[in-house]
Amino acid sequence: MGGLAIDGGRPVRDVSQKPWPAWPIFGEPEKSNLLEVFESGHWFYGKKVKEFEEKFATFQGANFGVSCTNGTAALEMALYACGIKAGDEVIIPPYSFIATASAVLRMNGVPIFADINLETCNLDPEDTERKITERTRAIIPVHVGGLPADMDAFKLIAQKYRLKLIEDACHSWGSQWKGKGTGALGDCGAFSFQMSKNITSGEGGILLTEQEEIADIARSFSNCGRSKTGQWYQHVLAGTNLRLTELQAAILLGQLSRLKEQTEHREKTARILDEALKNVPGIETIPSDERVTRRSYHLYIFRFIGEDWKISRDRFVELLNAEGIPASAGYPPLYRNPLFQEKSLTAVCSLSCPRYGRTINYTNVFCSQAEKASWQTVWLPHWLLLAPVEEMADVVEAIRKIRAFF
Residue 44 phi/psi, 5-degree rounding, is -110, 110
The question of whether 152 is a catalytic residue gets the answer: no
Instruction: Spot the catalytic one: 17, 233, 310, 343.
Output: 233
Q: Say if residues 150 and 272 touch (Cβ distance below 8 Å).
A: no
The question of whether 313 is a catalytic residue gets the answer: no
Instruction: Spot the catalytic one: 48, 106, 164, 171.
Output: 171
The question of whether 315 is a catalytic residue gets the answer: no
Neighbours of 134 (CB within 10 A): 6
The question of whether 226 is a catalytic residue gets the answer: yes
Residue type, 370: A
* Dihedral angle computed from the Cα positions of residues 310, 311, 317 and 318, in that order, rounded to the nearest 10 degrees: -140
3-state secondary structure of 175: coil
Instruction: Spot the catalytic one: 194, 258, 274, 308.
Output: 194
The question of whether 243 is a catalytic residue gets the answer: yes
Q: Say if residues 316 and 325 touch (Cβ distance below 8 Å).
A: no
Instruction: Spot the catalytic one: 88, 115, 127, 168.
Output: 168
Q: Which residues contact 207 (CB under 8 A, 6 or more apart)?
A: 65, 66, 68, 74, 77, 78, 81, 188, 189, 190, 191, 214, 215, 218
Distance CA 230, CA 272 (A): 54
3-state secondary structure of 130: helix
Q: Say if residues 266 and 296 touch (Cβ distance below 8 Å).
A: yes
- Angle between helix axes 313-322 and 392-405 (nearest 10 degrees) is 120
The question of whether 197 is a catalytic residue gets the answer: yes
User: Looking at the DSSP assignment, which residues form a beta bridge with residue 142?
Assistant: 168
Question: For residues 208-237, b (16+ Cβ closer than 10 Å) or e, as one string?
Answer: bbbbeebbbbbbbbbbbbbbeeeeeeeeee
Instruction: Spot the catalytic one: 52, 80, 97, 221.
Output: 97
Residue 89 phi/psi, 5-degree rounding, is -85, 140
Instruction: Spot the catalytic one: 137, 219, 226, 401.
Output: 226
Q: Round the CA-based radius of gyration of the chain to a whole number and report it.
A: 22
Edge-first strand order for the sheet with 188-192 is 64-68, 205-209, 188-192, 164-168, 136-139, 89-92, 110-113
Instruction: Spot the catalytic one: 197, 303, 336, 382.
Output: 197
The question of whether 168 is a catalytic residue gets the answer: yes
Residue type, 345: L
Instruction: Spot the catalytic one: 243, 258, 315, 403.
Output: 243
Distance CA 207, CA 362 (A): 29
User: Looking at the DSSP assignment, which residues form a beta bridge with residue 139?
Assistant: 91, 165
Residues designated as active site: 97, 168, 171, 194, 197, 226, 233, 243
